[in-house]
Amino acid sequence: MKTPLKTVLALAVSAVMGLMSPCTGLAADFVTQQHGVTVDVPEVLSISGDTTNFTLSFSGFVAANSESNTKTITYTVQSNNMRQIDGGTAINANLDALLPHSMDILADVGTYTKTSGNTELAESASGFVKMVVANTAIAKKANTTVGSDGKILNGTIPITYKAKANGEVPTGSYANQLFVTLTTI
């Protein structure tokens, strides 16, 4: 006759053997392959206006300080790598040549509208800024998400243009190229 202690020990050994059997069987039931995964995100840098060419027109006699009508162009801007520091230049503008007869092209940056991202743009200087042959900073990076690296830009920004006469201007049509550049440095 078995003693209760021997019966309990026999049951305990049987239970342990039963638990171990599935474990040793599971180790042989699968094998794992490890992969290194690289996700490649291309750099996006894009600026496009809702208008290509435009005309600024004076009305009547053009004397000193006369101003033309205005034209506002809304630019869609995107970048996933705005590397400049917060407050650094983000949009430059320049002309291919100065206008004759003491005329200037002026630009005024409006309010940026964010579609997504973690940085924004703001005007570099308030009011209208004179465009010259060299790059002129007109908008700056404005990181508004606290604790963010501020590298992702996706939205729209309006820029209003006008011509200003610094003296009397003779009749004529004066064409120039205006370059508006989104930069990440």
Tally of structural domains, the chain = 1
Sequential DSSP letters for 109-156:
E---EEEEES-EEEESSSS-EE--SS-EEEEEEE--STT-----EEEE
Answer yes or no: is 169 within a domain. yes
Question: Does residue 139 fall inside a structural domain?
Answer: yes
Q: Is residue 55 part of a domain?
A: yes
In a domain, 94, yes or no: yes
Task: State how far the Cα of 81 lies from the Cα of 154, in Å rounded to an integer.
Answer: 11
pLDDT values of the chain reduced to their tens digit, one per residue, 185 residues: 555 555 555 555 555 555 555 545 555 688 999 999 999 999 999 999 999 999 999 998 999 999 999 999 999 999 999 999 999 999 999 999 998 888 999 999 999 999 999 999 999 999 999 999 999 999 999 987 676 789 999 999 999 999 999 999 999 999 999 999 999 98
Q: Is residue 128 part of a domain?
A: yes
For residue 74, is it within any domain?
yes
pTM of the model: 0.80
For residues 141, 144, 147, 152, the Cα torsion angle rounded to the nearest 10 degrees is -50
**Which CATH number goes with the domain that contains 97?**
2.60.40
- For residue 69, how far is the Cα from the chain centroid? 30
CA dist., res. 101 & res. 24, Å (int)? 93
Range of the domain at 131: 45-182
Residue 94 to residue 176: CA distance in whole angstroms: 10
Cα(118)–Cα(111) distance, rounded to whole angstroms?
16
